[in-house]
Structure 1
Amino acid sequence: MRPTHRRLAALLAIAAAVPMAEALVLVLIGFVPAEGLAPQASAVWPYDSYHDMRWLLVYHNSWLMFGSGLLGLIALRAVLSAALVSLAWPGRVPRPPYRALLVRNIGVAALGAVIVLPFAAYSIAASVVSLSWFLFAALVPMMLLAPFLQRMSVGRGGWRGLPSAELVGWSLLDFAVLTLAGGVVWSAPEGWTPPVAAIAGAANGLLWKQSVRAALLQTRVRWPRVPVVPVVVVLALAVPLTSQVLSEPGQQMNTFAPPIFTRPLPERVPYALVLLAGHNSAYDGRPAADPNVQVFSYVGLDRGGRPLPYRAEATHRSLESSSRLLTAQVDALHRRTGRPIALIAQSEGVMVARTHLRDRPDSPVRALAMFSPLIRTGRTYYPPPDAGTGWGVATGWLLRLMFHVTTIGSKAPTTPDEPFIRSLLDGAPFYRYQMLCPVPGVRMVAFLPTVTAAEAPPGEPMRIPVVEVPAFHGGIIGRVTATDQLISFLAGADITRTRREYGPLERLGEAWQAPALAIRVNPVWRAAAQPGRPFTRTRFCGPVRPA
């Protein structure tokens, strides 16, 4: 066999062996939700570091474990990357000794870890609240940084000048291949998961070969003296700030006024309605068009039983306190109207409604329509700031720093430790596995935007009727078709509308989720965990012990 062919065979073998080994371990311990991450174990920069940092940020429970894990991962990643770069080196270009490549890749691995850590932390935030914009705020910088970091791993001057169009194209293909591979690996039967991961790893090997070749054989470098990489890193770090600004609530006094609020209820609707808005909503106290309809107030009722106006910061309270306010409002509306109650909830409002139904089994609520529910929240954890240890202790402080920077000037800043977020973290066994489960005596339906498919890993089929709508989070409730379907549901009809693309989108998003923290591993959750091995799949809608 010719030397170039031997090097190619070794490149493919190493690139395939690492994901296969990770997939084999995940299969043996029954950690199904994380199997889609395995192909990234041998991916081209920076997706390999993104893979490592997500595992580290979830699975450390002390500063010592985080620091030693970070140094260990940098060292292992440098050794592996140097080997892959050496084997991928084109034959017509003089190849430096492995030691020189190793030294260079140690620096690149360390720099890559530092750069990637903030974006990996955003993926943890996405796992806590199940909001896709956090995930997109992590992935867009990865795609922006990829071709620049790939040049740095092969040459000293890689931090200056622009990468070639060819290298940019290969880096985009990296992302596409990893996305597809994650979905395929997750979907494969358990016995086939390691071999499929090996095939995905071999594809990584081919991408390493082409990326290194494109980086080395670039004939013309634009802006050869300009330190482009630091500029790109700053631009990448600005992505979360831009995302936060774009998601900042407006100055409206009433941010939740769906058609059912502004029009009288049809006679065929037998319920009195409570409308629950989402996070950072506001309400100016104006009454609904129908006396049988009220907006839920995050600050409670006045002496006359009318919901009080509230501002955005009122929605940051804990779910338990919001649930108590909802209980008082539901009881008051039920006494006044004599009607059964239906809850129409969106986003955080869904969490409040489900907490109420969990804590109040004798509630007069008989119907619940959930718009853009937060699905499978609380998949990761970090302790409160006064805790010196705990799973994700470093992650919590990294998120606090990032949110402090990205919410400068915000009128109602969201923080990683606000009571609403801590409710999701502390109550994860319920909110992760019980949100879309049937409640005895309550008719239910969930309106799911297609973007939800990227917000949570795929799991068991829904146990309640769902209506899947091509929309972004919070973008369904005002649509005419959604209003008609809601009225039909309130009038007693059973509605279900699924879309073919929803399932495939769930699987394609699997590669970019953070690995979930096993319920039984975390002492905060252990009392509410189902029995069994720590990493085996927990049954959705199964018994959850009270914490």
Structure 2
Amino acid sequence: MGRLDKRLVGLLVLAAVPPAVEGLVLDVVGFRAAEGLAPQVSAVWPYDTYHDLRWLLVYHDSWLTFAIGLVALILFRALLTTGLVALAWPRQLPRPSLRWLLRRNLVLSAVITAVVSPWASLSIAASVVALSWLLFASLLPLFLLAPFLQRAAVVRSWWRGLPSIELVGWSLLNFVVLTVAGGVTWVVPIGWTGPVSAVAGLANGLLWQRTVAAALLPRRPVKWSRVPVAPLAVLLAFVVPVVVQPLLQLLPGTSPKGRALVLDRPLPADVRHAVIFVDGHGSTYDGRPAVDPNVQEFSYRGMDPQGRPLPYSARDTYKSIATSVGLLATQVDLLHRRTGRPVALVGQSEGSMVSRTYLADHPHPAVDTLAMFSPLINAGRAYYPPVGASEGWGIAAGWELRILFGAVNAVAHSGSGPEEPFIRSLLDNAPFYRNDMMCPVPGVRIVAFLPTTTATEAPPGEFTRVPVFEMPAVHGGLLATPVVQEHLLNFLEGESVSQPEGGYTQLQEFSAAWQAPPLALSLNPVWRAEHLPDPAFTGKVCQSG
């Protein structure tokens, strides 16, 4: 019994120390946005490797540093896993030698790194564009693969047969523990991240004990014991990015018909503005004029010689934000001169980014109202250089994303990808979208209509200084909701609109564990932001340098 107690104590200490050290370092440097990752250092596979790769994919600035970091992480993970497995091994079974365990875990660490890497890179894409569906698409494969990978360190033929219900249950509990721990690290005061992460590490140690026992001592015979189920599960995981976004479009409230409120009916008499509706990424326009002559659809192709918005296709929305801002400036000027009215902008998703950037770069005195639907909150938190660059922060992540989205586009034929000009706009102008996007503009009334999923898209902390209307929905779905349509019309009529949602902040906090760590603004020379306040460290936005 004494020896058993010593082994358990050793397991708990080994599982608690690495998260505590990372939490302490994050507290010392004040890196608040990344604190939710610390409990994952000693998590059970694959969440430990997911943790490692997100740090590496963000924080490397050349192929050499990426290669060195990748080798170091594989070695570290192999050594730590060997120790955890050895200490968690059931006493009633003979344990292989440490040399055998180390050799096995070294190979498996490299294999699992390769398996998890695409999903870690997808989390980088989620940090760039702040879209919840990308974050979900990076996590769903981990749910699928976790019960299989948790057998890998101890079972020789781990790729064959279905995992037991016990392993499935422990993997789900593993995710819950890491999610809660990540949220608590943000809630506690600075200085407590290390202790909280240590407690989470103790829970990780107990989970290692239970998962190793469940893998080695299954209560029932393994089903499909001759079928290579794990490789099939890996192949199935690669389908996730293709199907997640279309499935989200089937949820209630995601119909694009919400734009009909603006385009297919007259404005109420109390609305004194002319209105330009700026639709989002991947939208189309057939050129039909709005019912109300004081309303126009913004055209991503520009205006015809008669001053009418041109029809556009989905690919026209891929252009840079600066180009779209120039087109919007022309359209605002023409509409104002034709109607003599002040102009209100109603932007959705990419349209919100274009409209808000317009107010920062080319404001027209006639534009005094902006309603943003599903703006990309805290976009540009990661970086990768353009094609042709030989170095730069996130260079390996950029190429992995190009390969991943190239494979998706071979099936979906969307033509969208990590190199399109719109995405590069978010990458290159990240300080504005991280710090100033949700800030007031003098002389302009602003409201942001935010779906609940927005809470999963940005690190915890302050993200807005403008009024918000928050409501359960997915990205791009609010404008189709009758209650939101009513509040938009009230806002256009001059009323104040604000409805923060209870629980929104808590959802932000408990999502923090699964986001990639933001790249510090001061590190990237492309951003020229050495002296700008960084929301990732201050927890606040709209801070001047």
Q: TM-score, with normalisation over the residues of structure 1?
A: 0.96
Matched to 1:209, the amino acid is Q
Map of 1:8 onto structure 2: 8
Q: Structure 1 407/291 Cα, relative in aligned 2: closer, same or farther at 3 Å?
A: same
Residues 425-480 of structure 1, C-alpha deviation per residue, up to 9 Å, x if partnerless?
00000011111110000000000000111111112152111100100001100211
Cα contact 2:377–2:463 (8 A) shared by 1: no
| Alignment partners' CA distance in 2, 1:285 and 1:226 | 55
* Cross-structure match for 2:177: 177
How far apart are the structure 1 equivalents of 2:363 and 2:109? 53
**Which of the residues 429, 432, 443 maps onto 1:430?**
432
Deviation at 1:498, TM superposition (A): 1.6
Q: Aligned letter for 1:62?
A: S
Following the alignment from structure 2 to structure 1, what is the Cα–Cα distance between the partners of residues 477 and 532?
39
**Structure 2: distance between partners of 1:75 and 1:147:** 23
Aligned to 1:151, what secondary structure does the other structure show? Answer: coil
**Structure 1: distance between partners of 2:376 and 2:494:** 25
Q: In the alignment, which residue of structure 1 is the partner of 2:543?
A: 542
Contact 1:159-1:229 within 8 A present in 2 as well: yes
What does 1:45-444 correspond to in 2, within 5 Å? 45-218=45-218, 219-243=220-244, 257-444=259-446
SS in 2 for 1:370: strand
In the aligned structure 2, how far is the partner of 1:130 from the partner of 1:359? 22
Alpha-carbon deviation of 1:256? 6.8
Tell me, what secondary structure is at the counterpart of 1:258?
helix
Q: Secondary structure at the match of 1:520?
A: coil
Which residue of 1 is the match for residue 253 of structure 2? none
**Alignment match, 1:490:** 492
Q: Which amino acid aligns with 1:496?
A: S
8 Å CA contact 1:258–1:477 kept in 2: the answer is: no
CA distance in 1, matches of 2:213, 2:525: 49
Alpha-carbon deviations, 1:169-202, whole Å to 9, x = none?
0001101111111011122101211111111111
Shift of 1:287: 0.9
C-alpha contact 1:434 1:540 (8 A) present in aligned 2: yes
Q: Give distance in 2, aligned partners of 1:255 and 1:493.
A: 24
Give the whole-Å Cα distance in 2 for the aligned partners of 1:280 and 1:53.
Answer: 30
- SS for the counterpart of 1:320 is helix
In 2, distance between residues paired with 1:356 and 1:363? 12
Match of 1:18 in 2: 18
1:430–1:509 distance in 2 versus 1, CA, 3 Å: same
Question: What SS does structure 1 have at the residue aligned with 2:150?
Answer: helix
Using the TM superposition, name which of 231-240 and 360-369 deviates more.
360-369
Match of 1:466 in 2: 468
Per-residue CA distance 1:320-340 (angstroms, 9 max, x = gap) = 000000000001111111111
C-alpha distance in 2 between matches for 1:512 and 1:406: 23
| Cα separation, partners in 2 of 1:245 and 1:481, compared to 1, 3 Å | closer
Q: CA deviation at 1:508?
A: 0.9
* 1:371–1:476 contact (8 Å) kept in structure 2: yes
- Work out whether residues 33 and 537 of structure 2, in 8 Å CA contact, stay in contact via their aligned partners in 1: no
Task: Report which stretch shifted further, 485-494 or 49-58.
Answer: 485-494
Task: Give the whole-Å Cα distance in 1 for the aligned partners of 2:391 and 2:513.
Answer: 29
Task: Name the % identity.
Answer: 56
Cα distance in 2 between the residues matched to 1:228 and 1:342 = 56
Correspondence list, 1:449-464, <5 A: 449-460=451-462, 462-464=464-466
Instruction: Return the letter of the residue paired with 2:288.
Output: R
Please state whether the residue corresponding to 2:34 is helix, strand or coil.
Answer: helix
Quote the Cα distance in structure 1 between the aligned partners of 2:278 and 2:514. Answer: 31
Q: Contact (CA 8 Å) 2:461, 2:540: kept in 1 or not?
A: no
Q: Deviations over 1:212-233 (max 9, x none)?
A: 1111101411111212111111
User: Aligned partners of 2:533, 2:168: CA distance in 1, in Å?
Assistant: 46
User: What's the CA shift for 1:244?
Assistant: 5.6
Answer yes or no: is the 8 Å Cα contact 1:256–1:283 preserved in 2.
no
Distance 1:229 1:501 in 2: 37
Q: Quick check: 1:357–1:363 contact (8 Å CA) kept in 2?
A: no
Structure 2 CA distance, aligned partners of 1:427 and 1:147?
40
SS in 1 for 2:158: helix
Match of 2:28 in 1: 28
Question: Deviation per CA, 1:110-163, whole angstroms, max 9, x where unpaired?
Answer: 111000100000000000000011111110000111111111111212121111
Give the deviation of 1:408 after TM superposition: 1.2
Q: Deviations over 1:343-380 (max 9, x none)?
A: 01100000100111011244421000000111000000
Counterpart residue identity of residue 174, structure 2:
D
Q: Is the Cα–Cα contact under 8 Å of residues 533 and 544 in structure 2 kept in the other structure? A: no
For 2:534 and 2:504, locate their aligned partners in 1 and report how far apart those are by CA, in whole Å. Answer: 30
State the shift of 1:309 in Å. Answer: 0.4
Deviations 1:474-513 (A, max 9, x none): 1100211111101111111111112112111111110000
User: How many Å apart are 1:543 and its aligned residue?
Assistant: 2.3
Q: Look up the equivalent residue of 2:517 and give its one-letter code.
A: P
Task: Quote how far apart the aligned CAs of 1:245 are.
Answer: 5.8
Residues 385-407 of structure 1 deviation map (CA, whole Å, 9 limit, x = unaligned): 10010001111110000011001
CA distance in 1, matches of 2:501, 2:431: 28
- Cα distance change, pair 148–281 in 1 and its aligned pair in 2 (3 A): same
Cα displacement (A) at 1:242 = 2.6
Aligned-partner Cα distance in 1 for 2:282–2:532: 37
Residue 243 of structure 1 and its aligned partner are, at CA, apart by: 3.0
Cα gap change, 1:509 to 1:248, in 2 (>3 Å): closer
Q: Counterpart of 2:239 in 1: which secondary structure?
A: helix
In structure 2, the CA distance between the partners of 1:329 and 1:531, relative to structure 1 (3 Å rule), is closer
Aligned Cα root-mean-square deviation (Å): 1.7
Give the AA of the match of 1:45. Answer: W
CA change 1:433–1:265 in 2 (3 A) is same
Secondary structure class of the residue paired with 2:281 = coil
Evaluate the alpha carbon distance shift between residue 533 and residue 244 of structure 1 in structure 2; reply closer, same or farther with a 3 A threshold. closer
2:526 is aligned to 524
Aligned partners of 1:225 and 1:45: how far apart in 2?
23
Structure-1 separation of matches of 2:338 and 2:411: 43
User: Is the alpha carbon distance of 1:247 and 1:418 closer, same or farther for their aligned partners in structure 2, counting shifts above 3 Å?
Assistant: farther
User: Would the aligned equivalents of 2:148 and 2:163 in 1 still touch at CA under 8 Å?
Assistant: yes
Is the Cα–Cα contact under 8 Å of residues 278 and 352 in structure 2 kept in the other structure?
yes
The amino acid of 1:399's aligned partner reads L
Quote the Cα distance in structure 2 between the aligned partners of 1:531 and 1:497.
31
TM alignment of 1:493-512, pairs within 5 A? 493-512=495-514
8 Å Cα contact 2:279/2:351 also seen in 1: yes
Relative to structure 1, the CA distance from residue 333 to residue 362 in structure 2 (aligned partners, 3 Å threshold; closer, same or farther) is closer
Instruction: Give the letter aligned to residue 523 of structure 1.
Output: P
Do the aligned residues in 2 keep the contact of 1:255 with 1:283 (CA within 8 Å)? no
Aligned partners of 1:290, 1:533: CA distance in 2, in Å?
A: 43
d(CA) in 1 for partners of 2:100, 2:352? 56
Query: Residues 490 and 529 of structure 1: is their aligned pair in 2 closer, same or farther, counting only changes over 3 Å?
Result: farther
Shift of 1:410: 3.7
Q: Which sections of structure 2, spanning at least 5 residues, go unmatched?
A: 251-255
Letter in 1 for 2:120: A
In structure 1, how many angstroms separate the alpha carbons of the residues matched to 2:532 and 2:367? 31
